[in-house]
Amino acid sequence: MSLAQQGASAADRAHSHIRAAIMRGDLTAGSMLSENELAATLSMSRTPVRAALTRLQDEGWVTIYAQRGALVRELTADEVRESAETRHALESAGVRRADPARREGLAARLADNLDRQESALLSGDVQEFAVLAMRFHRAFVELAANSMMLSIYDRLQDRQYLSILRSADRIFREPQQAIAAHRNLLGHAQRGDWVAFAQALDDHQERGHGLDATW
């Protein structure tokens, strides 16, 4: 392996490590990250760490301050709103574009997911709930059988995941309400009533977090 490849590999590892820590909530919004400390933790030089932080800044996860470090960003209100609105449009379009064959059996396919959501909520496992809720909502986009729609939707999932984690206190106060809202969405999708689905999804977002997340 050439030196350039080794450097790229180290930068990729640093990027994956830091990004995963942000997604798990280990590095919370407002945390200042030190190149030196990250390099020591990862047993590598500062150069790949610096490259990783630059990439994370380009992706919108941190803001780099010269001579100070990199600050983990909080999602802005506009970012949260725009992400939620885009997901709403794609999920509603998925239900609208689905043919009866794709809708058939949707409830059966998502039954286990809903049961596991409920278990995660009752046990207080926010990370498990977040993953399951994201898969649940993605299933509505999948109904359209449109790879471009799915690609766009998947680009938003990191922000959706963080939104759910940061809204956990509100979600877990009313676990049955979250499950009831999901079952309501599933019923509209199964029937192909995309207008009712879109309205229920809008209510779901607004009631839950004022567009903080779609759970």
Evaluate if residue 147 carries a pLDDT over 90.
yes
How high is the pLDDT of residue 208? Answer: 56
Q: Is the pLDDT of residue 83 over 60?
A: yes
Q: Does 164 score more than 50 pLDDT?
A: yes
Q: State the architecture of 3-72 in CATH terms.
A: Orthogonal Bundle (1.10)
Q: What is the pTM of this model?
A: 0.81
21-48 confidence digits (pLDDT tens): 998 888 988 999 999 999 999 999 999 9
What does pLDDT average to over the chain? Answer: 90
The topology under which CATH files domain 77-209 is Four Helix Bundle (Hemerythrin (Met), subunit A) (1.20.120)
* Contact status, residue 97 vs residue 143, Cβ threshold 8 Å: yes
Matching fold, domains 3-72 and 77-209: no
> What are the residue boundaries of the structural domains of the chain, listed by start?
3-72, 77-209
